[in-house]
Amino acid sequence: MTDPNAIQPSALDQLPDRDPEETAEWQASLDAVAKAAGPHRAAYLMRRTLERAEGTGIALPKLLETDYVNTIPTPAEPSAPGDEAMEARITAWNRWNAAAMVTRGSKYGVGGHIATFASAAWLYETGFNHFFKGKEADGSGDQLYIQGHASPGIYARAFLDGRLNEQQLDNFRRESGGDGLPSYPHPRRLPWLWEFPTVSMGLGPLSAIYQARFNRYLTNRGIKDVSASHVWAFLGDGEMDEPESTAALALASREGLDNLTFVINCNLQRLDGPVRANFKIVQELEAQFRGAGWNVVKTLWGTAWDELFQLDTTGALVRRLREVPDAQVQTYQTRDAAYIRQDFFGKDPELAEMAKLLSDDKILECFHLSRGGHEARKVYAAYKAAVEFKGAPTVILAQTVKGHTLGEGFASKNANHQMKKLTVDEFKTMRDLLELPISDAQFVDGVVPYGHPGADSPEVRYLQERRAALGGPAPARRVHPVAPLPAPSEKAFASFDKGSGSQNVATTMAFVRLIKDLVRDKESGKRWVPIVPDEARTFGMESLFPSLGIYSPKGQTYEPVDRDQLMYYKEAQNGQILNEGITEAGSMADFIAASTAYSTHGETMIPFYIFYSMFGWQRTADQMWQLGDQLGRGFLVGATAGRTTLTGEGLQHADGHSPVIAATNPAALTYDPAFAYEVAAIVKDGLRRMYGEAAPGEDQNVFYYLTVYNEPLPQPAKPAVDGVDEGIVKGLYRFNTAESAGLTPVANAPRIQLLGSGTAIHWTLKAQRLLAEEWGVAADVWSATSWTELRRDALEADAALLRGEERMPFVRQALQGAEGPVLAVSDYMRQVPDQIAQWVEQDYSSLGADGFGLSDTREAARRHFGVDAESIVVAALAQLAKRGEVKATAVKEAREKYGL
């Protein structure tokens, strides 16, 4: 049986040994060290030799793990500028007010988190005082992804800075009154402070990577030089279990994003208990990040440990630190010196001797208090190393104690994430520990007071001076005053109004043709950001490759295999297309960064992200919610849409519900256009609303979701009647009547209104002809471009009615006076068209593709779901039969005739 711990063969084994004698001497030396000084000394020398090899550029595999000690030893730490004692007082005030805010709010039962910021206070304070550039700094300042559960500490600092007042702190998590603070970083709720939503864990680190990458994209394309901006992402060690947290690590190292730093607060605890009870999360993360090509800086132990490491002449202490699991480290935090002497030091004779030289106070100082993440000098050294490192992103693994300074009832307790308040006595103990000038008399009626040294105090002046030197307050979100983008030439949109004649054109292709025209616009063309997850050829976008180029920070270092072809694969350092490979999550992170560049960088960008509709909302709807929170603008395009249009692909590809999921997002304007001219009209209106002159009362902070299809069909001309453009944008217009379609009905023929969306309108039009020619029924056909927007308009009308305002929903206005019942059809589940049912005055019914998709031809799939033209005819006759307008036997006859 193979020993799993044995050294495995490497590529070097395949090379001939040019000097076997020299090789044998090296091996003998290693054997001698192991025999004389022990295997631990031999391992130590090997690690140091590998580190030297790496440092001198010798091509050897990198170490994935280092000892469980600080990367930067104490003698190598740079002196931190500034007044550390002053910064300690500022941090103390912030700790106090963060805990007070959550505790005071606990009487309302709104929750909050105390322990996270308590562990991370110095990680933030050091950055705010010395590293985080504000919006007035060079470029666009830094981008800060704040850990969601640490928000009370950020509010506390803003209070000290005069950006928030006591009333606002008291309204933490109580926003409905208009002067409250959101629970977490939510730009939509507090748009002057928060820039990036982070509390849906895993999305923060993913977005931070693509934000840093998009910063490079802007610089390389010559849009704006933001090379001075640095992206900081503050994360929890438990959060790193989310797959999104580590999904793009290789991208960050591959593209050399040294403008990016992850700061992972390793307090060893997640919500219910230890992150790695029987293992070591820091070592695991180090190996993961090193393996992905990141620079890793470990900041684990405070200066109190220096004496212990100096006593460790044999490496016994370092070995013991490597082997103790995290849950036991957490236990040491809560136990007395005797327990630690026995359990930690007593397991090794050399350590037991070391412990005799240590007082109980020294042991408790080290194991209860002294962590690298709690010392300004250690954190400063790590941050300085991060921003000065070139060629790769940096991750800082900072060890802390969850609930630090909150007292014995909090520190390292499994339940501390859910603990929402301190008692008055616990606050007084905390006050004494932090040395804050708060008297017992200030605790009026048992209510903990907020603390503030005064607007003109040395602490506040120092804080504000440091922020001024770094470019203004942080975090902060700014919407720079930029002129609306001029509307593109009308010609680009009007060319679709005449239809395609006899040529079959899918709406996916129509959208791509439109984009090709729009990116040529002299004013706004360079602002477009095409994003695609390795399906550009599926969507017919390969024609954009040579003209726009695919973004790559290295340009094109090879000759593409298709270089002799017109539409060859062209990469360029200033390329415009973001082709992300097979990652919808990465593509969405791209979209979020681009769609919010108007606020992050003061640069208006127009992203469109085109994807298999099934793999958009279903897979990354959480990021769409994040997009809405971050006030992003742009076009999401669900291509190859619908449940029956993807012949042969089947269940996992057949989208019958993306508009349902999209309808749940308040910022998403969802459209299901049927024709090319509708696509053009919707994009034109989206550009006006999001980037041009929005109408009074219109929210610009929205994004559009368009479904487009891969079914080539003749594209009709836009009907030459009034109200079509308004109807397209609002969601419904009459495409034709039985009479205008040339289907002259008999006198007093029964009539029905057929509403179709997307590709379903083509089956509806066929059903219109069958009804007239074979059953004597007159049908009018309506194009429902947006069931969701019709519903939202109707909901607003209902709300207005409750306020005493008379307003008729648009869907009712449009259908007012239309004869007969209404039958709605789509290529989605019936829930999509049924969104408008309650506001339609006529008898209403619907057809849709409910259930799982299946592999078959389009015709067979539509017959299976009962949405093809013949099924529409039967459903229409059934509606009319219920009203007594056709014979009941007609329904049975139609079923038999069409083989249903």
Q: Which amino acid is at 711?
A: E
Residue 649: both structure tokens together: 């692909």
Whole-number mean pLDDT of the chain? 93
Three-state SS for 27?
helix
For residue 7, the model assigns a pLDDT of: 42
For residue 149, the model assigns a pLDDT of: 95
What pTM value is reported for the model? 0.94
Q: What is the rounded CA–CA span in Å between residue 288 and residue 279?
A: 14
Q: How far is CA 212 from CA 92, 220, 611, 821, in A?
A: 32, 13, 23, 55
For residue 416, the model assigns a pLDDT of: 57
Burial of 382 (0-12, 13-18, 19+ CB in 10 A): buried
The answer to whether the bond into 185 is cis (omega within 30° of 0) is no
Residue 512: both structure tokens together: 């791509």
For residue 406, the model assigns a pLDDT of: 86
Signed CA dihedral, 515, 519, 525, 526: sign only: positive
Give the pairing of strands 751-756 and 733-736.
unpaired
**pLDDT score of 679 more than 60:** yes
Contacts of 530 (CB under 8 A, 6+ apart): 515, 519, 541, 544, 548, 576, 577, 578, 607, 608, 610
Percent share of the chain, pLDDT over 70: 97
Q: What is the rounded CA–CA span in Å between residue 753 and residue 822?
A: 5
Q: What is the rounded CA–CA span in Å between residue 867 and residue 864?
A: 8
Residue 822: both structure tokens together: 């209404």
Phi-psi sector, 342: left (phi>0), alpha (psi -120 to 50), beta: alpha
Contact indicator for 573, 220 with CB cutoff of 8 Å: yes
Q: What is the rounded CA–CA span in Å between residue 611 and residue 618?
A: 12
Q: Between these two residues, 177 and 158, which has the higher pLDDT value?
A: 158
For residue 569, the model assigns a pLDDT of: 92
3-state secondary structure 482-538: CCCCCCCCHHHHHCCCCCCCCCEECHHHHHHHHHHHHCCCCCCHHHEEEEECCCCCC
Contact indicator for 772, 750 with CB cutoff of 8 Å: no
Q: What is the rounded CA–CA span in Å between residue 245 and residue 254?
A: 17
Measured between alpha carbons, how far apart are the two ends of the chain, in Å?
65
- Across the range 804-833, mean pLDDT stands at 96
Q: What is the DSSP letter of 759?
A: T
Contact indicator for 676, 507 with CB cutoff of 8 Å: yes
Residue 273 φ then ψ, to 5°: 175, -160
Three-state SS for 578?
strand
Q: Calculate Rg over the CA atoms of the chain.
A: 33
**pLDDT score of 776 more than 60:** yes
Residue 429: both structure tokens together: 């103990």
Contacts of 377 (CB under 8 A, 6+ apart): 77, 79, 80, 84, 303
Three-state SS for 70?
coil
Q: What is the rounded CA–CA span in Å between residue 113 and residue 125?
A: 18
Residue 710: both structure tokens together: 């891969």
Residue 871: both structure tokens together: 């099924």
Percent share of the chain, pLDDT over 90: 82
Contacts of 448 (CB under 8 A, 6+ apart): 99, 100, 103, 104, 422, 424, 427
Q: What is the rounded CA–CA span in Å between residue 80 and residue 78?
A: 6
For residue 13, the model assigns a pLDDT of: 54
Q: What is the rounded CA–CA span in Å between residue 331 and residue 339?
A: 10
Give bridge partners of residue 143 from the DSSP assignment: 231
pLDDT tens for 844-867 read 999 999 999 999 999 999 999 999
Q: What is the rounded CA–CA span in Å between residue 634 and residue 691?
A: 9
For residue 646, the model assigns a pLDDT of: 84
For residue 412, the model assigns a pLDDT of: 53
Residue 466: both structure tokens together: 């440091």
Contact indicator for 99, 433 with CB cutoff of 8 Å: no
- Across the range 156-162, mean pLDDT stands at 98
Give bridge partners of residue 398 from the DSSP assignment: 265, 299
- Across the range 574-586, mean pLDDT stands at 95
Q: Between these two residues, 500 and 52, which has the higher pLDDT value?
A: 500
Q: What is the rounded CA–CA span in Å between residue 436 and residue 451?
A: 8
**pLDDT score of 366 more than 80:** yes
Three-state SS for 53?
helix
Q: Which of 836, 830, 850 is nearest to 732 (CA)?
A: 836
**pLDDT score of 410 more than 80:** no
Three-state SS for 609?
strand
Q: What is the rounded CA–CA span in Å between residue 125 and residue 233?
A: 14
Give 3-state DSSP helix, strand, coil % of the chain, rounded to 5.
Answer: 45, 10, 45
**pLDDT score of 821 more than 80:** yes
**pLDDT score of 385 more than 60:** yes
Provide the pLDDT confidence category of residue 314 given band limits of 50, 70 and 90. Answer: confident
For residue 217, the model assigns a pLDDT of: 98
**pLDDT score of 295 more than 90:** yes
For residue 42, the model assigns a pLDDT of: 84
Q: What is the rounded CA–CA span in Å between residue 533 and residue 587?
A: 6
Question: Other CB atoms closer than 10 Å to residue 881's CB: what's the count?
Answer: 17
Roughly what angle, to the nearest 10 degrees, separates helices 617-629 and 203-220? 70
> Buried b vs exposed e over 199-237: b needs ≥16 C-beta within 10 Å?
bbbbbbbbbbbbbbbbbbbbbbbebbebebbbbbbbbbb
For residue 480, the model assigns a pLDDT of: 79
- Across the range 283-298, mean pLDDT stands at 97
H/E element holding 847?
Answer: strand 844-847
Provide the pLDDT confidence category of residue 15 given band limits of 50, 70 and 90. Answer: low
CA of residue 701 relative to chain centroid, distance: 17
Give bridge partners of residue 531 from the DSSP assignment: 578, 609
Structure-token match 């339609």, residue found = 840
The number of helices, as runs of H, and strands, as runs of E, in the chain is 34, 20
Provide the pLDDT confidence category of residue 400 given band limits of 50, 70 and 90. Answer: very high
Contacts of 837 (CB under 8 A, 6+ apart): 844, 846
In 701-792, DSSP assigns E strands to 703-707, 713-714, 733-736, 751-756, 778-783
Q: What is the DSSP letter of 135?
A: T
Structure-token match 């002057």, residue found = 192
Q: What is the rounded CA–CA span in Å between residue 21 and residue 385?
A: 42
